[in-house]
Amino acid sequence: MSETIAAIATGQDPGGIGVIRISGNNAVEIGDKVFKSVSGKKLASLSGYHAMYGRVEGKNDFSDEAVALVFISPHSYTGEDVVELSCHGGRYSTEMTLKACIDAGARPAQAGEFTKRAFENGKMSLTQAESVMNIVSSNGKQSAMAAMAAREGKLSKNIAEICNMLKDIDATLAAWSDFPEDDTPVVTEDELIKSLEKAEEKLTEVVEAGKYGCLIQEGIRTVICGRPNVGKSTLMNLLSGKEKSIVTDIPGTTRDTVDESVNVDGCVLLLSDTAGIRETNDKVETIGVERAKKAIETAQLILALFDSSEELQKEDIELIDMIAGRPSIAIINKSDKNKKIDDKYILNKIKHTVYISAREELGIEELKKSILSVTQLENLDAASGIIINERQLYCAKIALENIGKAIDDTKYGMTFDAINVSIDNALEKLFELTGERVSEEIVNEIFSKFCIGK
């Protein structure tokens, strides 16, 4: 018998309504202790997916209007009996309603415990469970689409197809190895390699898409850099839609990195405006320049600004050479002024170049298109069921390595038993990815990152 748990399922900020979720064997009984319907009927008399209007009541003369919604096991989010009480969304009302439920016998739910129970009760796979938190935390269209696709089971389906391919190979090898004297079809090296390579190709697609899936979910570390007064802060403010960075005609205004999360056509950039790169005797500015260089080293995307109205300077050349070959966009700013810059050096070194006027807001759409192109997100089908976090990606990579080892072992004439070991190792990692076989320690770690009430 599972303990009955309760938590506020809506946010802590005041809102129109607040929802308190109760789940467990005694959920309906506890609901009846705290909720009184205007009709006088008990929640226990309701079948699933029915609601009643009334009041919730607790100690210290607490009372509030509420709607109670009942879900009967196994047809609920957690797979258990569930009661959801919707009261007014003020903090006092929701907290007092939760307290009433706890006083009536419920235990405060732990982080992610409702979704954990859904996973343990077979209502969803581990990848579907993880997607719940990703849906809640998504702040861009693509990340939301990827999370929703995982919640619908598309990622689990993609992984299951690969698992079935590997299980078929495993079973064929086992049958041939254990009963060679029977009429079992002979397994040739070419056929085995062909089957393994088909699984390898499918999983490679999953891994490659997963790299970008993690990017869109976590955000792309992006740095705006360049020498002083080329328009970095103006661009930062333009992309973020707010006066995040100080803009003046005085060089060296930005002394430290200024960070902001920016949504660019559904893609989230973790944007950093940095100090202008130049030689300076100012101790504070020197520290800012060093931090700018470190930010460039760790960035996943570099937006390098240059002044169209001036000739290339030594700092420009050094920056171009520093980022050549990196995921970067050369942004030639102040295109509304007379052009003096020799952009041939930039074009020869940096593949993606755009011309803008940050002050006049010209060329910004071209910049956004270039961002999607450089990050290779323009052709990503986020709704196809892609990997959405580093844990899943790690499992897929290890599985891919083991399939590659099985192919090499086959080419080197290793025994079927040895090849089976690599295939089984690959399957174990894929089962860990979906949660079909996963340790309690990993499960607890995953759900500990959830918020209370999910």
Enumerate the CATH 3.30.1360.120 domain ranges in the chain, comma separated. 5-123
386-400 mean pLDDT? 93
Local confidence band at 277 (pLDDT 50, 70, 90 cut-offs): low
Handedness of CA 258, 263, 268, 269 (dihedral sign): negative
pLDDT of residue 207: 94
Amino acid identity at 82 = V
Residue 55: what pLDDT?
96
Statement: residue 315 has pLDDT above 80: yes
Question: What pLDDT is attached to residue 355?
Answer: 94
Is the pLDDT at 35 greater than 90? The verdict is: yes
Predicted pLDDT of residue 395: 95
Give pLDDT tens digits for 154-211.
Answer: 999 999 999 999 999 988 887 766 555 555 566 678 888 999 999 999 999 999 998 8
Q: What is the DSSP secondary-structure string of 74-121?
A: TSSSSSS-EEEEEEEESHHHHHHHHHHHHHTT-EEPPTTHHHHHHHHT
Residue predicted with more confidence, 141 or 365: 365
Find the mean pLDDT for residues 298-327: 89
pLDDT number for residue 162:
95
- Stretch 410-425: mean pLDDT, rounded? 88
Which pLDDT does position 251 carry in this prediction? 43
- Under 8 Å between Cβ of 125 and 119: yes
Instruction: Return d(Cα 111, Cα 454) in angstroms, integer.
Output: 7
Give the pLDDT mean for 1-29.
90
Confidence of residue 417 (pLDDT cuts 50, 70, 90): confident
pLDDT score at 439: 87
Residue appearing with tokens 């002044």:
307
What are the start and end residues of each CATH 3.40.50.300 domain in the chain?
Answer: 126-435
Candidates 3.40.50.300, 3.40.50.720, 3.40.1260.20, 2.60.40.1930; CATH matching 126-435? 3.40.50.300
Above 90 in pLDDT, residue 71?
yes
Among 51-60, 173-182, 258-267, name the one with the lowest average pLDDT: 173-182
The CA distance from 429 to 221, in Å, is 29
Name the pairing type of β-strands 220-225 and 267-273.
parallel
- Mean of pLDDT values over 282-298: 70
Q: What is the mean pLDDT of residues 336-355?
A: 89
Can you give the pLDDT at residue 31? 96
**Mean per-residue pLDDT over the chain, rounded:** 86
pLDDT value at 244 more than 50 = no
| Long-range contacts (CB closer than 8 Å, 24 or more residues apart) made by 259-264 | 260/236, 261/139, 261/219, 262/222, 263/139, 263/140, 264/239, 264/368, 264/371, 264/372
Q: Tens digit of pLDDT for each residue in 199-241?
A: 999 999 999 998 888 888 878 888 888 888 888 888 888 887 7
Closest CA to 34 of 76, 94, 78: 94
Mean local confidence (pLDDT), 375-404: 89
CATH pick for 5-123 out of 3.30.1360.120, 3.20.20.70, 3.40.50.1980, 3.30.1130.10: 3.30.1360.120
Task: Give 103-155 pLDDT, tens digit per residue.
Answer: 999 999 999 999 999 999 999 999 999 888 888 877 677 888 888 888 888 99
pTM recorded for the entire structure: 0.77
Determine what percent of the chain is predicted with pLDDT higher than 90.
44
pLDDT for the residue numbered 289: 67
Mean pLDDT in residue range 276-298: 68
